[in-house]
Amino acid sequence: MTQEMPGVPAHEVVARLGPALSARARVRAVAMLVLGLAGAVFVTALWWTEPGPLPVRTQVGFALLSAVCLAWAGYGSWLLRRKVPLFAADQVVAAWIGLVASLATSALLVVVTVQRGAGPWAPLLVGAALTVVAATLLVRARRRRAALLRRERELTARDLETP
């Protein structure tokens, strides 16, 4: 959260919040972009170089992993292009990617396990744990974003009231 800055108009406080990413955030964004692209290239290369026709569930698995990697690469690219304060929108987007990836991966693992004739309880438990963690991170990110936006509105309202 921003600290009170007496005599400084709210629009200046908001402008100081980071029209550009901090060095740490920029490194994190570049890492997401590079690792996402590397993962997508690696998984796609494995997929294409498999000998013979693959079962549908294997193809779905490769497609899912490639999509998750590309989502993280897109997230890193989006962060690098942002030139305005994000007010924790980046955390909300990352949490959504994590939640969707955990749900999709869990569902695929359960389907594969059931098709192989094994009990679905192990992948269900692991998937539920991952999904709970991802959902918790999403709730926390949304709360943080709401608090930051509320604070921005308070500062803006205070700025408009001051002559």
In a domain, residue 5? The reply is: no
Please return the burial class of 163, using the count of CB atoms within 10 Å of its CB with bins 0-12, 13-18 and 19+.
Answer: exposed
In a domain, residue 66? The reply is: yes
Number of domains making up the chain: 1
- Diameter of the chain by CA atoms? 75
What is the average per-residue pLDDT within 12-34?
Answer: 76
In a domain, residue 3? The reply is: no
Report whether pLDDT(152) > 90: no
In a domain, residue 153? The reply is: yes
**Each residue of 28-50: pLDDT tens digit?**
899 999 999 999 999 999 999 99
Q: What is the pLDDT of residue 123?
A: 92
pLDDT band at 6 (very low <50, low <70, confident <90, very high): low
In a domain, residue 102? The reply is: yes
CA-based Rg of the chain, rounded to a whole angstrom?
21
Domain containing residue 110:
10-161
DSSP state, residue 88: T
Report whether pLDDT(153) > 80: yes
Q: What is the pLDDT of residue 143?
A: 96
In a domain, residue 85? The reply is: yes
In a domain, residue 75? The reply is: yes
User: CA angle, 91 as apex, 109 and 30 as ends, to 5°?
Assistant: 85
In a domain, residue 45? The reply is: yes
Report whether pLDDT(27) > 70: yes
